[in-house]
């Protein structure tokens, strides 16, 4: 085996963003700078060679099935190469947690796949992307590192727990009560928890996902004061779906109040939806804390998952 490689896959985001000419760095366009330029001049971790590949160039708010399919294909390709130690994926912060969760659920790799990002564009005088990218490379090169991880502002998170919790701070992510996997400090990793556990690859799921032309439709319903049950009735009405030319809803994720409770109007509507064959999962709109299944739970709990991750989990289950 020749020199070990770390492959950096570019998907866009603010880390590849450029400020509009003469504007301050808060006014910029994401996904402009090619990944090959992001890695130019970066020193590879000692003993490694860096490769890069542009998989997509998008603002991650626009993430879709086609980009996920391409990213999965390229991850599978590179992870299978004996001389590749790990992957780094540059990604927008906005849906980073969804991509991380998808990759961990489908691939659960024995090698590290490290997503990284930035809160300031690449050409800002105080850009945070280069340091985040250097830290991600350090994690990918660390002996024993495995699974899908996210690195931002010197912190390492597991894919299951990572969540964007701040709209503007550089330290924009948290793993909540699960805690960080560790920190990167001056080129070294201080680990606080186990790496995400590898699993046998979900080959069937991967195949179905790569062939899919659409994901099963699953929507998120937020419970709040003065909620209206008709919102759910309209969402699951097949005639409404047909009118808009979209597939009917197959699942609903409830982002409930507090411990996953739900306004009584929504509860009645969710019960009607479930009786009509729509899968309903319960999560919470709180950032922190774990939902406990309750005896005689009408709506099963999406244990340990935020609403967006519960939605993805349900879509993958329905696809499978």
Catalytic positions, written as ranges: 14
Q: CB 225 → ligand SIN: shortest distance, Å? A: 30
**Per-residue binding letters, 100-139, with ligand SIN (x by CB under 6 A):** -----------------x-x--------------------
61 binds ligand SIN (CB under 6 A): yes
Are 83 and 5 contacting, i.e. CB atoms less than 8 angstroms apart?
Answer: yes
Smallest CA-to-CA distance from 66 within 141, 11, 148 is with: 11
Are 137 and 32 contacting, i.e. CB atoms less than 8 angstroms apart?
Answer: no
Q: What is the DSSP string of 46-68?
A: TTEEEEEEEEEEE-GGG--HHHH
Q: Helix 307-319 crosses helix 203-211 at what angle (to 10 degrees)?
A: 90
Q: CB 172 → ligand SIN: shortest distance, Å? A: 8
- With contacts defined by CB under 6 A, name the span among 9-17, 104-112, 188-196, 240-248 that binds ligand SIN: 9-17
30 binds ligand SIN (CB under 6 A): yes
Residue nearer to ligand SIN on the CB measure, 75 or 115:
115
- With contacts defined by CB under 6 A, name the span among 92-100, 125-133, 223-231, 291-299 that binds ligand SIN: 92-100
93 binds ligand SIN (CB under 6 A): yes
Are 183 and 192 contacting, i.e. CB atoms less than 8 angstroms apart?
Answer: yes
14 binds ligand SIN (CB under 6 A): yes
Number of residues engaging ligand SIN in binding (CB under 6 A): 12
Q: CB 32 → ligand SIN: shortest distance, Å? A: 11
Rounded to whole angstroms, the Cα distance separating 57 from 154 reads 24
Smallest CA-to-CA distance from 118 within 31, 177, 57 is with: 31
Q: What part of residues 156-185 is at the interface with ligand SIN (CB under 6 A)?
A: none
Q: Return the biggest CA–CA distance within the chain.
A: 64
The contact set with ligand SIN (CB under 6 A) reads 12-14, 30, 59-61, 92-94, 117, 119
């Amino acid at each position: 085996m020749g020199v070990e490689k770390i492959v950096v896959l570019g998907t866009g985001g603010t880390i590849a963003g450029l400020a509009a000419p003469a504007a301050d760095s808060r006014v910029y366009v994401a996904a402009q700078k090619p990944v090959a330029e992001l890695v130019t001049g970066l020193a590879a971790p000692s003993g490694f060679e860096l490769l890069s590949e542009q998989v997509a160039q998008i603002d991650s708010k626009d993430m879709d099935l086609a980009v996920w399919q391409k990213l999965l294909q390229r991850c599978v390709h590179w992870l299978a190469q004996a001389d590749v130690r790990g992957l780094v994926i540059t990604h927008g912060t906005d849906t980073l947690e969804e991509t991380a969760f998808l990759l961990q659920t489908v691939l659960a790799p024995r090698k590290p796949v490290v997503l990284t990002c930035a809160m300031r564009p690449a050409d800002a005088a105080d850009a945070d992307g280069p340091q985040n990218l250097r830290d991600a490379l350090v994690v990918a090169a660390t002996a024993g590192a495995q699974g899908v991880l996210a690195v931002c502002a010197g912190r390492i998170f597991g894919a299951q727990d990572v969540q964007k919790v701040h709209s503007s701070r550089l330290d924009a992510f948290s793993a909540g009560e699960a805690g960080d996997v560790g920190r990167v400090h001056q080129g070294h990793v201080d680990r606080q928890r186990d790496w995400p556990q590898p699993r046998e690859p979900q080959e069937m799921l991967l195949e179905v996902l790569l062939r899919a032309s659409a994901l099963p439709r699953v929507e998120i319903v937020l419970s709040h004061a003065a909620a209206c049950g008709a919102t759910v009735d309209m969402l699951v009405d097949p005639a409404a779906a047909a009118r808009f030319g979209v597939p009917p809803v197959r699942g609903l994720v409830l982002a409930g109040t507090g411990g996953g409770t739900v306004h009584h109007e929504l509860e009645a509507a969710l019960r009607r939806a479930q009786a009509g064959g729509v899968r309903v999962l319960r999560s919470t709109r709180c950032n922190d804390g774990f939902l406990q299944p309750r005896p005689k739970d009408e709506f099963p709990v999406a244990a340990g998952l935020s609403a967006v991750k519960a939605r993805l989990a349900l879509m993958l289950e329905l696809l499978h």
